[in-house]
Chain A
Amino acid sequence: MQVIPKKFQQISWRNLVSWIYRVSLSLYPKSYRDRFGTEMNDVFNHALAEHSSQSRLKALSFLGRELRDAPVSILRQHFAANSFWLRPYPINIIAFIFSFILVGLLDYWNTAQTFVGLQGFLINLLSLALAGAISGLAIGILADPQHKNLFAFCGSIGFLLANIYVPQILSRIFPDAFAASGQGMEILLPFLFPIVEGFVFGLFIGLASGRWHNLLQFSGWGSLALFMGFFVNRLSAALLQSFLFHSATQNIAQMGIIGFFMPYLLEGAIMGALFGRIKITKTSLSAKQSSLG
């Protein structure tokens, strides 16, 4: 007969439920958790012990109630605490929406070949630089108002390089994906673009902050923000095309101006919200050293 080790015998379903509850408490905002977490855990264990001593059904009903109420309670406390994840940053969101409407306009001009040759090249260059500068300025105003212009400059360069050179570099690394359809990285590549572009843009924004720590933060968040933004753009465009406009492509003639630009607007909003999450370290090393000295 197989012998179950003693430490596993001691793991009852109540211990397991109790552990899950303890873990779920970590989903509450930190300030709330620090204030009520220990007490809530204590009350939960008391109630669980009492209900399970009465009957399994009572214990299940208690757990069902906990499970039903937990998501709403957690969300409510995050709203009440003006939590990190739910804090709105209107300036960032508005700036990124504006930038991505500009990117949408550029996509439209490029598709319609409104500007060609040198004129088209310059329009592309200026529009991308302007979109990057506006986004960088908004990030700078929130992160480090004293150096907001530097953020705008770095954002402009970063956005420009990300949009011009990243596609070229990736096309060299994965030539198959561009050569013919249905080959190699063709499916993954559209998702790889925003990740690398976001990294490059974030890197330049991070440079403006002048700290290695921030550099890595901005690159990471940049990748995430551009990826999420792109994903929302494509998803909303697909939904709009399929269900609202019954259009085969994202066609401005069929979808109208609002329908055409809506995915870009949503992309900008998501990106603005995500870039607003970044908390930069403002204290310089020399300032820390002087305060210690």
Chain B
Amino acid sequence: MPKAADSHSFLPLTEATFFILLSLAPGAKHGYAIMKDVSYMSNGRITFSTGTLYGALKRLLDLGWIERSGEEGSELAETSRSRKEYKLTALGKAVFTSETSRMKELVQLATAANAKEG
């Protein structure tokens, strides 16, 4: 499993991945809540189908960025068989923070460049 220190090696993230991590940043959520959250936060620009959502969640589980209730090694308690919750792991949080910092730097650079031009 990659360490939190390696989180920079995964950057930049795709928009869809970033929105999933963003949706899970405040706390654990189940699949349908993530789907709605991402659509709402992106103003309907990113709308997952169930196939793409679970494909992305599986990839993030495999990367160890999120954990799923009821699965081995997860701290989340299983509430129902069909309603699993997803939560960011330490590595997931580190990747999300690194990506946010990277974006912040970009925005700062762009703002400075715009200010000079103005």
Contacts and interface: CB of A to CB of B under 8 A. Distances in A.
Interface of A: 32, 35-36, 38-44, 46-47, 65-66, 68-70, 72-74, 76-77, 80
A73 B55 contact: yes
A72 B32 CA distance: 20
A36 B55 CA distance: 10
Contacts of B51: 40, 66, 69-70, 72-74
B92 to A, nearest CB: 19
Interface residues of B, number: 17
Chain B interface, >50% SS class: helix
Contacts of B83: 39, 42
Chain A interface, >50% SS class: helix
A36 B53 CA distance: 11
Contacts of B53: 43
A36 B83 CA distance: 10
Contact of B54 (A36, A46, A65): A36
Nearest to A74: B51
23 contacts: A32-B58, A36-B58, A39-B54, A40-B50, A40-B54, A43-B31, A43-B32, A43-B50, A44-B50, A47-B32, A65-B47, A66-B50, A66-B51, A69-B51, A70-B49, A73-B49, A73-B52, A73-B54, A73-B55, A74-B51, A76-B55, A77-B58, A80-B58
Nearest to A24: B51
